[in-house]
Each structure stands twice: as C-alpha cells, then as structure tokens.
Amino acid sequence: MLGPPMLASPALRTLLRAPWTLRRLPGLTLWLDAQLSSLRQNSDGTISAAADGDPVGYGQDLSGYGNHPIQATAGFRPLLQLGANGINGLPCLLFDAVDDFLRVTFGAALSQPVTVYVGCSFGSTAAYRYAVSRDAASDFSLYAEITTGYVAIVNGLTVTSTTAASGVQMVSVVANGASSTIRRNGAQIASGDSGTNTLSGVTVGASYVGTSPLGGKMFMLAVYAGAHSVAQQQLVEDYYKARGYWSS
C-alpha cells in the first residue's frame, strides 16, 4: 500500500517556483548585472544611476557576498546606457577606452579552479582591451587583442583563441591549470594551461593598473569558485540569450 504523498516544504516550493538565475549554480562569489543590479553614481552607494548616461561608481553584487565593484574617482566611472544606446535595447555599462573601470577585492582569494563569465562588446581597435583582470596583479586577465582578433586569458600562463573578438561576446573562462578553457557564444574556442595563480578580486573594464581599458559595453560579470561543466556554462549562456543580450 502506498503511503501519503510527500509534501515539499514551503521553502522548497518557493525555490521550485522561482525563475532560474545564476544563484542556482554552486560557488557564486560575484554577480554584476547591468539590468538587475542596483547601480549607483557614487562609490559609497548613494545617488541612483537610473538615467541614460548616468555615471556608475557602484555596482551591486547579486551573489549576496557584498563584493560590490566600485570606482571612487568620478572621471573614471563607466556610463549607464539605456534604450537605443544599450545592447539590443537592454541596459549595459559603457567603458570609454581611456580610463573607466570598477574594482573589488574579495575577502579571501579564490584558488583554482575558478569560472568567470563576461558579457560584453569590444568596440575599440586598440591592440589590447581588458574586459576583466585581477585587482592587484597581472596574473589573471580576460582580454581581446584586436590587432590579431583573438580573445585570450592570462593566469600565469596564456591561453589564446583564434576567434575574432567582434560583436557581442558571451564569454566563459574556466581557469583550471592544464584543463583551462574559453567558450564564446556557445562554443569552446580555446583550451590549454593557464597556470596556478589565484584570483583575489577583479578590475572590471581594464588591466589591474587601469591601463588598456575596455572600449565597449558590458552587460554582466560573474565569478564562481570551482570549475563549471559545459552544461552549467550553457545554463548561463541560455539565461542571457533568453533575455535578449546575445544570439548565436
């Protein structure tokens, strides 16, 4: 005889009804989203950035760990872009290829493996344009080398793709020593050994010293402790594809 049906707890029922977000994947340490994050003009989190062209000096970390990227210098802040100035009509941050960047240092450095997702466009034609790098040393970077058209990561050693860095990029990097990979817009474009360095924080939109800044737009950045599988990476890709930020 079958017993009574098992009833899910209220918390589980709420979780099952909730829409899928990046919080469902393990290891989330930082999640910046141009549409969902609370963006502020000042680095102390005051004055909402809500209008097209507003400077962004503070981006809310949606991971829940308080890793909010900030920029204390007013002239170095990216600009919020809305409507026709956004990406496919959706909100994004515009980095000016001169001096714009945000930065956060984590409470504890992340050892490899680490998975990093970046959604952006590289609009500048300069030799190197960094989408993300470490906060205080040049041992982790994701950049586009426009001169050769390659997307590459550096994490002690270099893993370079032969895929052009043009258009809207949905890039995921698994930094995992000899098993490191780069995916772009739903397909793996490189693999190799990226070394063993840790990630103690991130500089968003430039190198760790603020040079070779991104000339383009960014709609998301997420950092996870651990190596995400291809299936997990596809969940993040599909999440932003469904929202209209990119298409294959």
pLDDT in tens, 156-173: 667 777 666 667 889 898
Per-position DSSP letters for 60-107, written without gaps between them: --TTSS----B--SGGG--EEE-GGGSBTTB-EEEEESSS--EEEEEE
pLDDT at 7: 54
């990216």: which residue's tokens?
78
Burial-class residue 243 by CB neighbours within 10 Å (0-12, 13-18, 19+): middle
Considering only residues 189 and 244, tell me which one the structure prediction assigns the higher pLDDT.
244
pLDDT, one tens digit per residue, over 49-83 is 999 999 999 999 999 999 999 999 999 999 999 99
Identify the burial level of 192 via C-beta atoms within 10 angstroms of its C-beta, where 0-12 means exposed, 13-18 middle and 19 or more buried.
middle
Mean pLDDT of 118-129: 75
Q: What is the mean pLDDT of residues 3-15?
A: 53
* Confidence label for 1 from pLDDT (cuts 50, 70 and 90): very low
Q: What is the pLDDT of residue 15?
A: 45
Residue labelled with tokens 């980095």? 95
Cis preceding linkage at 69, omega within 30: no
**Structure confidence at residue 154 (pLDDT):** 64
Q: Which helix (H) or strand (E) holds 206?
A: none
State yes or no: pLDDT of 120 exceeds 60.
Answer: yes
Integer distance in angstroms from the first to the last C-alpha of the chain? 51
